[in-house]
Amino acid sequence: MGGTIGIIVDISLNSLVLSGVFLIVAIGLNIIYGLSRIMNMGHGALYAVGAYTGYTLVATGFNYFVALVIAPIIVGGIGLLIERTIIAPMRKRSMVYTLILTYGLMFFLDGMIKYVWGNKPCFIDLPAFMQGTLSILGTQYPIFRLVTLFLIAGIMGGLMLFLNKTKVGLILRASSTIPEMVSCLGINMSYVHMGAFVLGCIMAAMAGIIAGPLTTIDPLMGSEMLISSFVVIVIGGLGSLRGAVLAALLIGFVQTLAEFFITDLAMVIVYVLMAVILAFMPRGILGEGKFE
């Protein structure tokens, strides 16, 4: 009986951790799409850049939590450069142009990652207090995964407070639904789009450094996460933040459960689930999806 409870605890906590990482990446992608109608194909690469930047900061002596603050700022600066030089000139054109451009950006960033850090896997060294395990209902669970859960909860709580309680957050929310009215109020929509893109990049970087201790940091991690985040936002509905939360929890649980029992078919089951949901709910599980 104790062993069964331990397995349930392991699966439940692991699914929450995986869901949280999916959610942070997907929310960033959704914010960019919801405000700018841009599907950023380079989002996964920015996630990987965040992980590698965090690794480099920790390796050079910075505390892990300090790196968790600095790395997203650095990636946010990269996102600002990308938005000003690549995205902004194409904003008035069809979404296909930015789709192709960001697809090329993905390959460019992947190449830069290999050039700077190489193909060798990297691992983030954790603070001493995050190493070891903690006994929870008969199972020894890694402390760093529990800390990761609190970090994810803190990031999402901070994001919700920012979007709901600050003037900038309210402008971003209004711009996603009634951009014409926001523009009529004298607010420069170019700055809104720029801010949304940078915020999305910061979210991707945060997820990258959080996922660093959970998985191996390698050049392929961005492509893998991009696919998973697309699954989340498609199931949740393009542009729907509430849908993304539910979809991330669902996908995290299904994938963790599938990997535990039938490892080789885990992602197949996730894709089948996506196909079934799309067949009956093409605008996502809450019906809030937005399409061009």
User: Is the Cβ–Cβ distance between 183 and 252 less than 8 Å?
Assistant: no
- 3-state DSSP assignment of residue 133: strand
Looking at residue 270, its pLDDT comes to: 79
Q: How many folded domains does the chain comprise?
A: 1
According to the per-residue pLDDT averaged within each range, which of 121-125, 261-265, 275-279 is highest?
Answer: 121-125
Determine which of 11-15, 36-40, 175-179, 279-283 has the lowest per-residue pLDDT on average: 175-179
223-249: average pLDDT: 83
| Domain span at 97 | 2-121+128-280
Q: For residue range 27-67, list pLDDT tens digits in order.
A: 888 888 877 778 888 899 999 999 999 999 999 989 999 99
DSSP states of 134-200 as a string? EEETTEEEEHHHHHHHHHHHHHHHHHHHHHHHSHHHHHHHHHHH-HHHHHHTT--HHHHHHHHHHHH
Judged against a pLDDT cut of 60, whether residue 11 lies above it is answered with yes
7-24: average pLDDT: 86
Q: For residue range 274-290, list pLDDT tens digits in order.
A: 888 888 887 878 776 66
Is 194 within the bounds of a domain? yes
Question: What tokens were used for 227?
Answer: 């696919």
Is 234 within the bounds of a domain? yes
Judged against a pLDDT cut of 90, whether residue 154 lies above it is answered with yes
Residue 280: how many CB atoms within 10 A of its CB? 7
Judged against a pLDDT cut of 90, whether residue 75 lies above it is answered with yes
User: Is the Cβ–Cβ distance between 229 and 200 less than 8 Å?
Assistant: no
Judged against a pLDDT cut of 50, whether residue 163 lies above it is answered with yes
Question: What tokens were used for 215?
Answer: 């998985």
Q: Report the chain's mean pLDDT, rounded to a whole number.
A: 85
Looking at residue 3, its pLDDT comes to: 63
Is 285 within the bounds of a domain? no
161-179: average pLDDT: 82
Is 287 within the bounds of a domain? no
Nearest CA to 43 out of 102, 112, 115, 121 is that of 102
| Dihedral pair phi/psi, residue 105, rounded to 5° | -60, -40
Q: Would you give the distance in Å from CA 230 to the centre of its chain? A: 10
User: Is the Cβ–Cβ distance between 256 and 250 less than 8 Å?
Assistant: no
- 3-state DSSP assignment of residue 287: coil
Question: Which percentage of the chain shows pLDDT scores above 70?
Answer: 96
Task: Round to whole Å and give the CA distance between 24 and 279.
Answer: 26
User: Is the Cβ–Cβ distance between 143 and 129 less than 8 Å?
Assistant: yes
Is 290 within the bounds of a domain? no
Is 247 within the bounds of a domain? yes
Burial 244-269 (b: 16+ CB within 10 A, else e): bbbbbbbbbbbbbbbbeeeeeebeeb
Looking at residue 178, its pLDDT comes to: 76
Judged against a pLDDT cut of 60, whether residue 2 lies above it is answered with no
Task: Round to whole Å and give the CA distance between 91 and 38.
Answer: 9
CATH number at residue 87: 1.10.3470
Question: Which percentage of the chain shows pLDDT scores above 90?
Answer: 27
Is 169 within the bounds of a domain? yes
Is 159 within the bounds of a domain? yes
Secondary structure letter of residue 83 according to DSSP: I
